[in-house]
Chains A and B, each alone.
Chain A
Amino acid sequence: MNFIKTSRVALMALARNKMRSFLTALGIIIGVGAVIAMVSIGQGAKADVEKRFDEMGSNLLFVRPGSMSFRGRHGGGGSYQTMKEADAQAILDNCDAVTYVSPNVNTRSQVIYQNKNWNSSIYGVGHSYPIIRNWDIQDGQFFSEQQVKAGQKVCILGSEVYENLFEGAPAIGQVVRIKRIPFRVLGVMEAKGETGFMSRDDVIFIPFKTAMMRLLGVDSIQSIDVSAASLDSTAEAQAQIEEVLRIRHKIAPGAEDDFNVRNMSDIAESASESTRILTILLGGIASIYLLVGGIGIMNIMLVSVTERIREIGIRMSVGAKERDILLQFLTEAIVLSLLGGILGIFLGIGSAQLISRLSPMQTVVLPSSIALAFLFSGSVGVFFGFYPARKASKLDPIDALRYE
């Protein structure tokens, strides 16, 4: 008996009992649907993370002071106070793979406008910060290089701070007070949304020099944001920065750096690694449904074999070989799980869309996860269909014919 005939026999047998066939496939339908929906949540989270890093600019590098050790005691990262404004200037001047730098310091403080106040992060940054971070100004303008150099008391508000202090009223030209020092508002940043639990818009930007002198009273900076000329030149930029800083900080060859440089793509990679684990976890849980669905198929096929012993006897008496019976029942199981798989794919895509519509979670259904689910459901059919099919094929024709 060839493949087409076997499939026809199997399809006819399934069609003879439509309700049972559907119920049998239901386990696979739900299993495949769950796998696709769950994995789409994981993939959605991954795409979301990647998008956020992309927005920040993937040619971004961070330079931070390293950890200081004094008589065997290590401080935390950034505990050196050796990073100076001049280091940032030197990086910009001497590294040809670097296009922009921004020296950064930050602190937290209460911000007061008239009778309102708000506690916010104060970022002291350079004038190139919006370009480096790929962050546009919604209203007004960012401070200029001259304003930074002069240490002017000007500020740009993050959209959340603006909402809380001004409640939609015009802010440009108004004066807010940070630690009793008046700052003139130059502009409002575009809203960026949340990262995890943190709002990126709850922030105020002021020139880093002003922050160092007026708010912190320090002469060292906390970090430098660097923008490489392109995505491909980040590695080159990193090497150049390290070289410049080692010379400036007079670090002997072989000695430990008092700074470290990290690039955005490394950070993005580790972040998407964690969403990958999330995907595997969700997919793994959903696979259990698929397994249960497979056991369901085996169960019903076993019942079906017992119920159809007479039919098997009839088929054998007219010349069906063991192999024919085995293939028929195996094909029935495979057809059931593949049909279940196809319906499950639709169910999965549908639920993924429903999830992204009804909840803040983003979902992405990849063609590869559809292919995988389909392949997996097929193998479930083969695996769980084999035992009942073998049982059917091993029946003795005389006993089968006489079975009541």
Chain B
Amino acid sequence: MQNNVLIELNDIKKIYTVGESEVHALKGVSYSIRKGDMVAIMGPSGSGKSTMMNIIGCLDKPTAGRYILEGTEVSTFDKNQLARIRNKQIGFVFQTFNLLARTSALENTELPLLYSDVNAKTAKEMAMKSLESVGLKGRETHKTNQLSGGERQRVAIARALVNSPAVILADEPTGNLDTKTGDEIMKIFTQLNESEGITIILVTHDPEVAEFARRSIHIRDGLIERIEENGR
């Protein structure tokens, strides 16, 4: 069982100092996510779900508590070590896609490999494979602005997948898409989870999106309010 734990959060607290007042964004969150799981972190805005995503995604460090990722405590890591973790073990998918403008799908997908020690030829092959797995074969040379919203999000997923990360963090991945395209994107996530066994964490306030996950973690006022099994 211990071997199966991918993410272990242990009494995570996050305090922001705004001017002279302190904001307690997370007040002690403990939770473990297994390898191959698909969970949704839900909660209204200001609940602390974004902070939680930032900490899980190693973009931010907790003020207190321990965060263990694949058996390594990363809560004490410095900026450069965190950058390395983001590069190797985490893939991000954002609501606003966050692709480089005027840049081809292939180059966007290759981006994480630029910051690892993969050579250019291998990087290209890996990126092609990744684009193929999200159904964008033949669209490699299209620039960001020549792609539709759904296609852009697929490029973002391909980019997140390219380094074979331990976990993909998707922050409102369907927020900027229409319902039909959103469903297609969610199907890609569930497929990646079911057939490839990739761990996926969705951050959303949309219950329909959360339904794609196996369980939903509801956050309110910096604490886990309840955990809901979705019966999948």
Assembly CA distance A341 to B118 (angstroms): 33
**Chain B residues within an 8 Å CB radius of A313:** 98
Known: A16-B102, A314-B111, A401-B98. A322 touches B86 (CB 8 A): no
Are A9 and B114 in contact (CB-based, < 8 A)?
A: yes
A246 within 8 A of B: no
Are A319 and B100 in contact (CB-based, < 8 A)?
A: no
Are A321 and B80 in contact (CB-based, < 8 A)?
A: yes
Q: How many inter-chain residue pairs (CB < 8 Å) link A and B? A: 63
Which of B88, B115, B120 has most A Cβ within 10 Å?
B115
Are B79 and A318 in contact (CB-based, < 8 A)?
A: no
B103 within 8 A of A: yes
Are A318 and B87 in contact (CB-based, < 8 A)?
A: yes
- Residue of chain B at shortest CB distance from A323: B80
Chain B: minimal CB distance from A337 (Å) = 23
Assembly CA distance A317 to B56 (angstroms): 12
- Contacting residue for B79 out of A9, A16, A315, A321, CB 8 A: A321
Assembly CA distance A316 to B159 (angstroms): 13
Are B111 and A398 in contact (CB-based, < 8 A)?
A: no
Are A317 and B92 in contact (CB-based, < 8 A)?
A: yes
Chain B: minimal CB distance from A6 (Å) = 9
**Chain B residues within an 8 Å CB radius of A315:** 111, 115
Are B59 and A398 in contact (CB-based, < 8 A)?
A: yes
Assembly CA distance A255 to B94 (angstroms): 96
Chain B: minimal CB distance from A264 (Å) = 64
Are A322 and B79 in contact (CB-based, < 8 A)?
A: yes
- The interface size of chain B toward A, counting residues with CB under 8 Å, comes to 27
A397 within 8 A of B: yes
- Contacting residue for A401 out of B79, B94, B99, B159, CB 8 A: B94
- Residue of chain B at shortest CB distance from A322: B79
Known: A313-B98, A398-B54. A319 touches B112 (CB 8 A): yes
- The interface size of chain A toward B, counting residues with CB under 8 Å, comes to 22
B84 within 8 A of A: yes
Within 8 A of A (CB), among B31-87: 54, 57, 59-60, 79-80, 83-84, 86-87
A1 within 8 A of B: yes
- Contacting residue for B111 out of A16, A318, A321, CB 8 A: A318
Assembly CA distance A66 to B48 (angstroms): 97
Are A317 and B114 in contact (CB-based, < 8 A)?
A: no
Are A317 and B98 in contact (CB-based, < 8 A)?
A: yes
Are A311 and B100 in contact (CB-based, < 8 A)?
A: yes
Within 8 A of A (CB), among B102-119: 102-103, 107, 111-112, 114-116
- Residue of chain B at shortest CB distance from A328: B114
**Chain A residues within an 8 Å CB radius of B112:** 318-319
Are A319 and B87 in contact (CB-based, < 8 A)?
A: yes
Assembly CA distance A319 to B165 (angstroms): 12
Chain B: minimal CB distance from A316 (Å) = 7
- Residue of chain B at shortest CB distance from A318: B112
A291 within 8 A of B: no
A343 within 8 A of B: no
**Chain A residues within an 8 Å CB radius of B79:** 321-322
Assembly CA distance A16 to B108 (angstroms): 13
Are A310 and B98 in contact (CB-based, < 8 A)?
A: yes
**Chain A residues within an 8 Å CB radius of B59:** 316-317, 397-398, 401
- Contacting residue for A321 out of B98, B107, B115, CB 8 A: B115
A-B contact sample (7 more), CB < 8 A, given A317-B59, A321-B83: A311-B100, A314-B100, A316-B83, A316-B86, A317-B57, A319-B86, A320-B83
Chain A residues close to B by CB (< 8 Å): 1, 5, 9, 12, 16, 310-311, 313-324, 397-398, 401
